[in-house]
Amino acid sequence: MKRLFLTIVLFLFLLNAHSLYSQKRAVNLWEQGTGKYKNYRIPAIIVSQKGTLLAFCEGREGGDAGDIDLLLKRSFDNGRTWEKEQVVWNDAQNTCGNPCPVIDRETGRIYLLLTWNLGSDHEAKIIRKESESTRKPYVCYSDDDGESWSTPVDLSATCKVPDWGWYATGPGIAIQLKSEKYKNRIVIPANHSYDDPKGKERGGPFSYGSHVLLSDDGGKNWRMSQPIKPGCNESQVVELSDGSLLMNMRSYNDKKCRAISISKDGGETWSKIYHDNQLVESRCQASLLSYGVCNGKNMFLFANPSVPNGRTHMMIKASFDDCQTWANSKLIYAGSSAYSCMTKLPNGDIGLFFECGEKRAYETMRFIAISPNELFTLGAMIE
């Protein structure tokens, strides 16, 4: 009996030590009510070819509209310390947001896809075509590891259908393909609103759909894919082992889980959507990452607030069969949490950048480094 008691005590000690160790690697990159901006939202994180972490977010005065700037912080030591924030794009009182970065493996250039609209135009008015202007996709890039950025260029001419209203890149990350047939094609997950006689969004007749932006010449020219619909947006994409692409999307189809679509032609066209009941959530953004080989198997990771109602319980799930089944789940944060983004760190850890807070999910923009093996241990990562 004494031995059993000592075993339980040791287990609880190790579990608590594990949690404390994880907390030491959790860093609040932005906090509501501190710094130049009142609010911070919409995380995106990526690692450059030189091993630099680049964490992007929106600096906001209010909600999803108004004066919004695109911000960046960099880390050179796997996320332990971070530089001061820099402003990637500030267009006076207008909205510059929805960061979606990707690295061109041929040149090392960091492309950042993002969107713009007049600060006086709100999403509902843009969707209903009652706004002064519309929402537009843009691209800029950095050739010096994120220290400086080019002037954003409007992609509307080739990357937006004229009758689309709302538009968003990501949010999250984009990918560059590896399979031989479409090697080095850049694929940017994106979404939009469109006219739909059966639609009910923002009073109708409008619906949300997803699509991707494609470039086959290293980002010089961009075009859009066939749209994915109905009732899906805020998408992330991965390349599977057979070269096909899987799009994972926020769903508006009252299924309480994620919507999925598959492309067999490098993102040009997409299958009819289906829903993955394993990936439970209320309507929220989520992150998806092709990690690479872990314990001898190719591993994919999915993160979101994994509850059917509200936004709490940020979890990471792992798949070792091309996102068909999600056999493992790791609770990262049990409290209020919302949008997230993942990357593979230079040391092999998983970097998770996500929104969370004690009372509301948007109080902090938090980064945590996680060893892949920690996905299969007990206990929440952050208490």
Q: 2-376 adopts what CATH topology?
A: Neuraminidase (2.120.10)
List pLDDT tens digits, range 36-48: 999 999 999 999 9
The pLDDT of 58-69, averaged and rounded, is 92
List pLDDT tens digits, range 6-22: 333 333 333 333 333 34
Neighbours of 13 (CB within 10 A): 10
- DSSP output for 28-77: EEEETTSSS-SEEEEEEEEE-TTS-EEEEEEEESSSSSSSEEEEEEEESS
Three-state DSSP at 344 gives: strand
* Per-residue model confidence (pLDDT) at position 381: 67
Three-state DSSP at 6 gives: helix
The pLDDT of 221-238, averaged and rounded, is 97
The residues, any chain, with a CB within 8 Å of residue 290's CB and separated by 6 or more, are 175, 238, 239, 298, 300
Does residue 1 carry a pLDDT above 80? no
Per-residue CA distances from 185 to 113, 168, 235 (Å): 15, 20, 18
Q: Where do the structural domains in the chain lie, given as residue ranges?
A: 2-376
* Per-residue model confidence (pLDDT) at position 275: 98
List the one residue out of 155, 161, 165, 219 whose CA is nearest residue 187. 219
Read off the amino acid at residue 13.
F
Strand 68-75, strand 245-251: pairing: unpaired
List pLDDT tens digits, range 95-121: 999 999 999 999 999 999 999 999 999
For the entire predicted model, the pTM comes to 0.92
Does residue 278 carry a pLDDT above 60? yes
Number of DSSP helices (H) and strands (E) in the chain, helices first = 3, 24
Average pLDDT, the chain: 92
Alpha-carbon span 361 to 312, nearest angstrom: 8
Does residue 298 carry a pLDDT above 50? yes
- DSSP output for 184-244: T-EEEEEEEEEE-TT--GGGSSEEEEEEEEEESSTTSS-EE---B-SSEEEEEEEE-TTS-
